[in-house]
A and B are shown apart, each in its own frame.
Chain A
Amino acid sequence: MHATNIQKAIQQLKESIFVRVRHRALLQYTGAPVVDENQLFFLLLPFLNGEPWHEGLQESATTVGIVQASLFEHDKIKEKDAISKEQQLTVLSGDYYSGRYYEILAHTGNIVLIQKLAQGIVERCEQEIAAYEHTYRTMEQWVNNLSLIETAIIRKFYEAHGFNKYSAVMVHALTIQRLQNEMDAFHRYALTAVGRAMEKCFGQQELKHLLTVAIEEQQKLLTAELAALQLSDELQQFIWRIVKVETR
């Protein structure tokens, strides 16, 4: 599949998400929902790779995108003093999107996906809160933590629809993306909550080194998984672009 068509499929899914959660007051105060296009790409990967796809699957992918948008809204809440009208409505926009994904799946009778996504959200919350637990973790544990945060929801979508073979590639690619984001945040002196927790464990210089090593390790694993999955050249190139590696 050509890169333009990949982009078109992503934009269509994005539009479908926006349409399903459109809300006058939320649009006015918190703006349109934020969705990570790379995450949408992985939701669509089975379709882009030619797996049988139908309206129900597109609807499921839309609801998973809504879940991601919901969690992203709540990620925007500040640790202290979230008292502005915008922050208050950001809390509610996350809750509203959460209600909407449940409502859509309830109407299509997809109880299995409701359950799977709920389990994914539980897993993700358990990992997100780890940053505030003041517990020592090894770098391997932190990489696992970041990986679960980024991939738990999509993994549940794959599980619900029998697309497990795409999991490993998705997990390594999105883990690299997150580790790179942590590295960028490190260089900008704007660490995330997990970044701060990792810094407490290892110190500044060691953290930089460990992040570099972890990214390299994940890239090796991604290379191996991509070889095993045998995706088209276009899809492979798209994935390497996601992880900011231009030529392979």
Chain B
Amino acid sequence: MEKMKLKLLYADLKSDIEIIETELEKALNSSSHLLNEASLHLLQAGGKRIRPVFVLLSAKFGDYQIERMKHIAVPLELIHMASLVHDDVIDDSNMRRGRHTVKAQWNNRVAMFTGDFIFARALEYVTVIDNPRAHQILARTMVEICNGEIIQIEDKFRMNQHIKDYFRRIKRKTALLIESSCELGAVVGGVDEQNIRRLKRYGYFVGMSFQIIDDILDFTATDKELGKPAGSDLLQGNITLPMLLLKDDAPMQPYLEKIIAGTLTEEERMKMLQYVRHSDAIKQATAISDKYLQKALKEVEALPKHPMKKKLRDVALFIGKRKF
């Protein structure tokens, strides 16, 4: 159902998205059969391709040429893919999107080489763009994503963290890459400065909403829908928004103590999920996500009249209302 909605959303960009898919495949081509296999494994797992879509939609407000824009859209998706491969090593995750991760299918070292290979391919591909500003934006984004992840590891199991810590973390971890997708699409597409800023802010707000929804779904979606056990974030020590809103509730305490000690049983995980799902925290977190979504829609309103305005609105709403 969600996949069908996404297909409909992308309908106007169908032929360009197909170009991106073909280029992704080409970019990942290697003389090593193992790297080919690992990369294909990742490509076949699919993904929403939202970063390339944001690049293309933003560029539509300028001088849109897919042959140029693909050199920004493809690297952004590659950087996202590479960071997922390395994240799975960090989180010791065996499943993603219902498939074995590269580290589970082979081992950590193969995953490290695969991630480095994909990062390098992204940079090789983006150097066709001879615009220092574009490279500066992308480079800054890569560094800040790492900073976000480093902070996330430092904050693991830190129950006394403030909600502001969480926002700072997800800004770097997720919102920044979506913000940069919009900004880079606009910059390379030659959009005027005022609208670059609007598209950039739109990307930031959508990115924040996207991550909050992701963090909610980690508790509310089923294991099957997630392709991994629900509650995985918390089990790994990542204290996300729903948990920050719930962590002081008395009934949560025994679960939290057991999670920190690493002794939570499967039965207790299911009971904890039931408790979280029926709590006010989910509603509160959804309301916060909605606020970001409204801010994103406000930025869209301020953009000049263009057929793609509706598309930007629809993509934001899809992201903010998705079920998994």
Contacts and interface: CB of A to CB of B under 8 A. Distances in A.
Given A106-B139, A126-B35, A193-B109, A96 B146 contact: yes
B64 to A, nearest CB: 23
- Main SS of the interface on chain B? helix
A121 B117 contact: yes
B233 to A, nearest CB: 15
Interface in B83-103: 83, 86, 89-90, 92
Interface residues of A, number: 46
A128 B30 CA distance: 13
A207 to B, nearest CB: 21
B295 interface: no
B143 interface: yes
A118 B142 CA distance: 15
Contacts of B145: 99
A132 B153 contact: no
A88 interface: yes
Interface in A83-140: 83, 85, 88-89, 91-92, 94-96, 98-100, 102-103, 105-107, 109, 111-112, 114-115, 117-119, 121-122, 125-126, 128-130, 132-133
Nearest to B106: A132
- Main SS of the interface on chain A? helix
A79 B109 contact: yes
A123 B145 CA distance: 25
A193 B150 CA distance: 28
B140, B146, B153: which has the most chain A beta carbons within 10 Å?
B146
Nearest to A132: B110
20 contacts: A74-B116, A77-B109, A85-B153, A91-B90, A96-B143, A96-B150, A99-B139, A99-B142, A103-B142, A103-B143, A106-B135, A106-B136, A106-B138, A111-B135, A115-B123, A121-B117, A122-B124, A129-B113, A132-B107, A133-B32
Interface of B: 30-35, 83, 86, 89-90, 92, 106-110, 112-117, 119-121, 123-124, 127, 130, 132, 135-136, 138-140, 142-143, 145-147, 149-151, 153-154
List the 6 closest pairs (A to B, CB-CB), nearest first. A106-B135, A99-B142, A121-B120, A103-B139, A99-B143, A118-B124
